[in-house]
Structure 1
Amino acid sequence: MSFNDDEVPAPARPTGFTGSPTRQVQLIKYHSRSAPLAPNDQEVLLELRGIASAAAREPLDLVAVIDTSGSMGDGGKLDKAKNALCFVIRKLTDRDRLCVVQFHHKASRLCPLRRATEAAQAELEALVRGLVAGGGTNIQDGLEIGLGVVGGHRVIAGRAASVMLMSDGEENNGDARSVAPGDVPVHTFGFGSGHDSRLLGAIADKSLGGVFNYVADSDSPTNLTETFSQVLGGLLTIIAQDLELIVTPLPGEATIRKPVDAGSFPAIPATDGSSSVTVRFGTLYSAEERKVIVELALSDRTASRPYRANVAQVQYKFTFQGQRVMSDPDRINIRRGRGTAAGDPAADAPAQVRTEVARRRHVKSIKAAMEEADGDRLEDARDILAEALRALERIVDPMVDMLRRELQRLLEHFRTKDTYREQGRPYAISSLASHGRQRFTARGDAEEVRLFATRRMDTYLEQAKRPDEKPPSADEDFREEPEPERAVPQDWERWTVMSVALRLLATVLSLLAFSIMARARTSGWDGDRYGRYEPYRTNRPM
């Protein structure tokens, strides 16, 4: 199923971005600077970071797929969904396009992809306000129509497409697990205690870059709007598409010891006989990060003299404004010497590597606890979570503080079978989605754990709390943002410290020289200002 009647988008206009497109994304490497000549393993953390500015973003083609089944009429849930959709409509600009799909026992497309001009926004809001609850829940049909809209859109180059799918219940018509989203990110929202978090989590996980968000029952009229705003805060700052990271160990120097740890993103070994691995990330938002851990097995060099070894090569590529961009090759360089003893690679690694390893160990604990809880072994599940909490006690890091908060809330939600089914499971699935994608997700509400949230998401969250005020458009948000921040690579940190130390040394020497000169001028030389320097002149060796 596909549609090709979408409205022609607005002509491209200057973005204000200057410089090489590769500057949209930055590569930062963290690893030990030295290693022994004997065979040893080294953990390397590779981080791709989007620039902290959406001066140049991809225009958005968004399809909102909304559950209007009978249960949505209970407790004002449909009204909350309408308010959330209207917030989305008001944030879009005339560069963006929106399509709304509703589903109950069957699905229907309410409009083609429409440019979000001021006139279209009013019409789209009226369309949304007219939604009525009734019927069963056919998530498959809604998802297929939503993907059909994306698959049939006529203008693709330089545009980003995404699907937002929300449901409050369990599917009783069709089978959404049979749908293949392909490379289209599908962001799902489980609303209330009756939704099927396992199904919605699986749909998002099957897409490239999509995440599952859990929206708890609440008296707040804006809790769904707040969660929608967070996903939208990313979608309206997409600065790279089709992002890939390629890691190639250099022959004779290193091999990749075990599969590259890229969370829930696919890490694909090369099929051309080389030993490279390609990680596919999909989209990247402004100020987002993607971290990958590569464990390199360094070759035996005990017969060699100490030297600086290029052990692997790293490149990244992405699409921006319809053009394919590739970075220059970047080498991972480690000094290998006799005085360096082989030890625990994690203990010898920089703090950034150790913190990331701890986060990934934390994720494994949540998965293990879920397996126990799904098997009705809640006490064992809580023991696993408690042990994971103790493992974080000695780590001082702002992100680790949020990991502790996450575990504490999971312990509360894993108390009984009912609390686990209604709150614990969706909370855990949302947490795993967030960690796997390294992207913000709502875990019950949009404020509790802010892991991976960006500055624009923080801004949209505050706007979503004020339903009586019309939010500014995405373009207006950008104009109010401060200047972009730049990432600081590991090597730059070292040179910065050395530079500061040299400047301090130069200042001290200058003051010392000034002090000597001042004393020389006031030491009473009977008018001969140069007599003090005479011994240096006469006693110089010939």
Structure 2
Amino acid sequence: MTFDDDDQINDDVETQDISTEEEAITYEAGDTQLAIINQPEAPLEETELKVLLQLTGFGDNEDRSPVDIVMVLDISDSMNEENRIGKLKIAMRFLIQKLSPIDRLSVVTFSKESTRLFRLRQMTNDSQLEIIEVVNGLRAHGSTNMFAGLTMGVKVLKDRRYIRGRLGAVILMSDGDQTRRFGDARRVPVDNFAVHTFGFGSDAKPKVLKEIAEKSNGGTFSNVPNVDDLTKAFSQCLGGLLTVVVKDLNLTVTQFKDESTIKDVSAGNYPKTANDTSVTVSFGELYNSEVRLVMAYVSLPKVDEEKNPDVLEVAYKFSSGKGKQFEAPPVTAIVSRKENATVKEIPKLILEENRLMALNSVKDAMVKADGGELERAKNIVDEAINELERVKVDDDPTELIKTLIYELQQLSNFMTTQDDYEKYGRPYGMAFEASQNRQRYSTNGDMDKVRSFATARMNEYLEQAKKFDLSPDTPPPTEKEDLEKDPPKPTIIEQQPIYITIAKKVLNFFTDRRI
């Protein structure tokens, strides 16, 4: 069966609150800002240098990419427990009503078999009401053929006819373990699509869902143990998907002959390719105001005299929300080689080093815990907490450090017994690891306390979802209303210390540099 019956977007469609035609003609590529952060001085002898790259998407949300979302929903028998199926219907209602006519939605369900309830439908008022009515009629039954559900969901995106400038994503929700006799969902090829997975309820099995998300292009794994939190969790994922202003982002770092050697590049679990002199990281999409941090570990050779060499070249290319391609001119990291080099305290470097320390500690602890060494695992996490508590930037712990401490304390609490670890600790640790690796927000328990990587739109959607859960018959704000409430577009920082090089990439600058 081929799913090439997706709706063609009708630009003349109007709703009560938004004009698709107006949205379609106002899309422009977002700006980007690159910061290169490193120690300004290095000694004459052979030494190691850490170079932190900070790449941020600065666009208008009205310039976002239109999105095709395929919801892949578990409706197996276990969804009857704790009224999970009822909670799912409310969450779906919120998600459907937040989409605008430039977006399309398809719904796939799975239990013993998979069913496509709708083709990719343009989100007009009529189609929203139609889909909500069918979703409200869902009944939970049967086993959990996640393999069939994900296979069908990906196929809906692969078979599309109308794809120009459009983003494709799968949102997969399950409350239990897959029935393995049907096949392993981790083996489903997901192509170049993002698959955002949600473990719903305390019985969900995180390992399969995390692995599916990690092998996709920018997908996240969310841990939603409280069945009352699904609307809020969906809202956070949607807050990202509806603000994609940069696509196909690739960043390349290159060493300089006789001046530097790249030893390693830390960029989470994003794909990397390397040759003898350079490393390229493929990030995929950036949500508006999202940041990607890359730590390059560079070796500097011994030199005989003081000088100011270029030690690292940084270049990147991307596509706008419309799909126009741009290539930024390279910028360089510079260091002064001095006989009496001064080491400065650079807050951003300190914070990133400690974030990576916390991430690696959790990874190590999870390996120990999964191997039955729970006491050793808890000790690793507690040692990381102690290290974080000693971190002070400008004599005060930052919000990042406070959040990391809270998350690691939660994980440590879930390591009291093996049963607690398997039910609560493992999904919590996996969601933490997945989010930190992606540098992208994903739900992990208490959404008010854990906001790492959350964007302004996600924060707004969280409050909307809370209100919607209390009054599901009241529609949430439209996209037009969301745009009116968006904070002003950030301005590029004009003054920075010498060790930060800021390069603003503006559309006018790119006029003659289109690929």
Q: TM-score, normalised by structure 2?
A: 0.89
What is the SS of the residue equivalent to 1:162? strand
Partner residue, 2:184: 175
Query: Is residue 111 of structure 2 the alignment partner of residue 69 of structure 1?
Result: no
Partner residue, 2:337: 336
Query: How is 1:498-537 mapped onto 2 (pairs within 5 angstroms)?
Result: none
Q: Which deviations, in whole Å up to 9, do the C-alpha atoms of 1:519-538 show, x marking residues without a partner? A: xxxxxxxxxxxxxxxxxxxx
What is the SS of the residue equivalent to 2:210? helix
- Answer whether contact 1:49 1:487 (CA < 8 A) is retained: no
Count of aligned positions: 480
- Answer whether contact 2:3 2:155 (CA < 8 A) is retained: yes
CA change 1:57–1:457 in 2 (3 A) is same
Q: Which deviations, in whole Å up to 9, do the C-alpha atoms of 1:61-99 show, x marking residues without a partner? A: 100000011111121101111111111110000000000
Partner residue, 2:221: 212
CA change 1:175–1:408 in 2 (3 A) is same
Q: Of 278, 290, 300, which residue of structure 1 is paired with 2:292?
A: 290
Q: Which deviations, in whole Å up to 9, do the C-alpha atoms of 1:161-211 show, x marking residues without a partner? A: 111000011111321111121221100000112211000011001111111
Partner residue, 1:7: 7
How far is the alpha carbon of 1:480 from its aligned partner? 1.5
What is the SS of the residue equivalent to 1:308? coil
Partners of 2:60 and 2:151 in 1: how far apart?
34
- Answer whether contact 1:28 1:488 (CA < 8 A) is retained: no
- Answer whether contact 2:40 2:499 (CA < 8 A) is retained: no
Q: Larger C-alpha radius of gyration, 1 or 2?
A: 1
Partner residue, 2:15: none
How far is the alpha carbon of 1:116 from its aligned partner? 0.4
Partners of 1:240 and 1:394 in 2: how far apart?
37
Query: Is residue 474 of structure 2 the alignment partner of residue 472 of structure 1?
Result: no
CA change 1:414–1:356 in 2 (3 A) is same
Partners of 1:43 and 1:15 in 2: how far apart?
43
CA change 1:30–1:20 in 2 (3 A) is farther
CA change 1:324–1:349 in 2 (3 A) is farther
Query: Is residue 233 of structure 2 the alignment partner of residue 230 of structure 1?
Result: no
Partners of 2:27 and 2:81 in 1: how far apart?
53
Partner residue, 2:116: 109
Q: Which deviations, in whole Å up to 9, do the C-alpha atoms of 1:300-324 show, x marking residues without a partner? A: 321x4x2221112111111111211
- Answer whether contact 1:307 1:335 (CA < 8 A) is retained: yes
In terms of mean alpha carbon deviation, does 417-426 or 91-100 score higher?
417-426
Q: Which deviations, in whole Å up to 9, do the C-alpha atoms of 1:465-515 show, x marking residues without a partner? A: 1122311122320122121113437xx312799xxxxxxxxxxxxxxxxxx
How far is the alpha carbon of 1:13 from its aligned partner? 4.6
Q: Which deviations, in whole Å up to 9, do the C-alpha atoms of 1:399-437 show, x marking residues without a partner? A: 000000001111111111111111110000000011000
Q: Which deviations, in whole Å up to 9, do the C-alpha atoms of 1:87-121 show, x marking residues without a partner? A: 11100000000000000011011111011011111
Amino acid at match of 1:192: G
CA change 1:16–1:41 in 2 (3 A) is farther
- Answer whether contact 1:162 1:184 (CA < 8 A) is retained: yes
Amino acid at match of 1:374: D
Partners of 1:250 and 1:54 in 2: how far apart?
38
Partners of 1:140 and 1:19 in 2: how far apart?
37
How far is the alpha carbon of 1:288 from its aligned partner? 0.7
- Answer whether contact 2:40 2:498 (CA < 8 A) is retained: no
- Answer whether contact 1:46 1:293 (CA < 8 A) is retained: yes
Amino acid at match of 1:157: R
- Answer whether contact 1:65 1:164 (CA < 8 A) is retained: yes
- Answer whether contact 1:216 1:445 (CA < 8 A) is retained: no
Partner residue, 2:490: 485
Partners of 2:86 and 2:415 in 1: how far apart?
31
Partner residue, 2:209: 200
Unaligned runs of 5+ in 2: 12-19, 392-396, 501-515
Query: How is 1:38-57 mapped onto 2 (pairs within 5 angstroms)?
Result: 38-51=45-58, 53-57=60-64
Partners of 1:19 and 1:456 in 2: how far apart?
18
How far is the alpha carbon of 1:37 from its aligned partner? 2.7
Query: Is residue 202 of structure 2 the alignment partner of residue 187 of structure 1?
Result: no
Q: Which deviations, in whole Å up to 9, do the C-alpha atoms of 1:142-173 show, x marking residues without a partner? A: 10111001111112221111110000111113
Partners of 2:332 and 2:280 in 1: how far apart?
16
What is the SS of the residue equivalent to 1:325? strand
Partner residue, 1:277: 279
What is the SS of the residue equivalent to 2:118? coil
In terms of mean alpha carbon deviation, does 226-235 or 308-317 score higher?
308-317
Following superposition, which runs of at least 4 residues in structure 1 exceed 6 angstroms of deviation? Answer: 16-20
Q: Which deviations, in whole Å up to 9, do the C-alpha atoms of 1:233-264 show, x marking residues without a partner? A: 00000011111111111222111013x11111
Partners of 1:487 and 1:408 in 2: how far apart?
36
Partners of 1:471 and 1:71 in 2: how far apart?
29
- Answer whether contact 1:43 1:349 (CA < 8 A) is retained: no
Partners of 1:43 and 1:339 in 2: how far apart?
19
Partner residue, 1:261: 266
Partner residue, 2:398: 397
- Answer whether contact 1:165 1:186 (CA < 8 A) is retained: yes
Amino acid at match of 1:370: M
Q: Of 128, 142, 151, which residue of structure 2 is paired with 1:121?
A: 128
- Answer whether contact 2:53 2:295 (CA < 8 A) is retained: yes
Partner residue, 1:87: 94
Partner residue, 2:43: 36
Partner residue, 2:442: 441
Query: How is 1:387-466 mapped onto 2 (pairs within 5 angstroms)?
Result: 387-395=383-391, 396-466=397-467
Q: Of 136, 139, 142, which residue of structure 2 is paired with 1:132?
A: 139
- Answer whether contact 1:101 1:142 (CA < 8 A) is retained: yes
Partners of 2:199 and 2:213 in 1: how far apart?
11
Partners of 1:136 and 1:382 in 2: how far apart?
35
CA change 1:297–1:107 in 2 (3 A) is same
- Answer whether contact 2:58 2:489 (CA < 8 A) is retained: yes
Partners of 1:146 and 1:424 in 2: how far apart?
30
In terms of mean alpha carbon deviation, does 83-92 or 348-357 score higher?
348-357
Partners of 2:50 and 2:289 in 1: how far apart?
24
Partner residue, 1:374: 370
CA change 1:52–1:117 in 2 (3 A) is same
Partner residue, 1:309: 309
Amino acid at match of 1:199: V
Partners of 2:197 and 2:399 in 1: how far apart?
28
